[in-house]
Each structure stands twice: as structure tokens, then as C-alpha cells.
Amino acid sequence: MQVYDVTKYLDDHPGGDDVILEATGRDATEDFEDAGHSKSARELMEQYYIGEFDTSSPIATKKSFSERFAQLKKKQYLGISVAVVGISVIAGFLYLRKK
Ligand code: HEM
């Protein structure tokens, strides 16, 4: 995936700087294509190319917040279940010992 530093182009962008700023730091391919840029716009873009983004890097494959939250919740439920069973076993054990 190509990375572009468009900082210097923000003020000159015919579509305004807000649309570009809204699309920074992420894959903006769809936004760029949806705007139906001309051939000259694509050529202009090349001078802002700074490199490739390694999509296999840990940052790229990092799970989203909601995914991680869902995972954490699953772990939490498991933890609570284990705790309830553990407490019941201990309580039962103590009860039987008293008898
Ligand atoms: C280096 C990157 C970019 C360059 C060089 C560029 C260049 C241009 C140019 C020259 C135009 C005028 C129309 C044309 O010739 O196609 C334009 C329009 C537009 N651009 Fe970009 N653009 C860039 C990135 C983006 C991004 C990332 C977005 C969206 C997030 C975007 C959204 C738009 C929109 C919505 C218009 C239409 C404005 C209108 O018709 O009123 N552009 N852009």
C-alpha cells in the first residue's frame, strides 16, 4: 500500500483540505477513488509519494478496539465462571468439613 505525505498539498487541493485531513493515517484508497480524480490529479499525487506501508507489520494487523474489547469480555466471562465454581467448591469443602 502506497503512503503519501500530502501536508504541502493541503492548501492547494481543489476538493479542500478537510476531506484529505479526514482521510489521513488510514487507507484512503476508496475515498480517493470515490472522488473520481482525473488523470492529472493522479500524476500530481506521485510527487507526494513517500513509500510503501508494510501491511504485514504488527501495526497493520493490530486488532481494532472493539475486537479487543469483545475478546476481553469473553475472557472476563470465563474468569467470572471459574471464580464462581472455585468459590462453590471451597464453600462446599468447608461445609463438609464442619459436619
Ligand atoms: C495527493 C493526493 C491528492 C491529490 C493530488 C488530489 C488532487 C485533486 C484534484 C487535482 C482535484 C480536482 C479535480 C480533478 O482534477 O480530479 C481533486 C478533487 C477532489 N478531491 Fe482530491 N486529491 C488528493 C487526495 C484526495 C483525497 C485523499 C480525497 C478524499 C479523502 C480527495 C477528495 C477530493 C474530492 C471530494 C474532490 C472533488 C472536489 C469537487 O469536485 O468539488 N482528494 N483532487
14 and 43 within one domain: yes
86 and 68 within one domain: yes
Q: Which domain covers residue 86, as residue numbers?
A: 58-98
Q: How far apart are CA 78 and CA 74, in angstroms?
A: 6
Atom of ligand 1 nearest to the CA of 38: 16
Q: Is the ipTM of this complex over 0.90?
A: no
Distances (CA, A) of 68 to 9, 31, 62, 81: 36, 27, 9, 20
pTM of this prediction? Answer: 0.66
> What one-character DSSP code corresponds to residue 55?
T
CATH number for the domain spanning 14: value is 3.10.120.10
* Cα 69 to ligand 1 centroid, rounded to whole Å: 36
Task: Per residue of the chain (99 residues), give pLDDT as tens.
Answer: 999 999 999 999 999 999 999 999 899 999 999 999 999 999 999 999 999 998 887 766 666 777 777 878 888 889 999 999 999 999 999 999 987
62 and 48 within one domain: no
Select from 3, 1, 6 the least CA-distant residue to 21.
Answer: 6
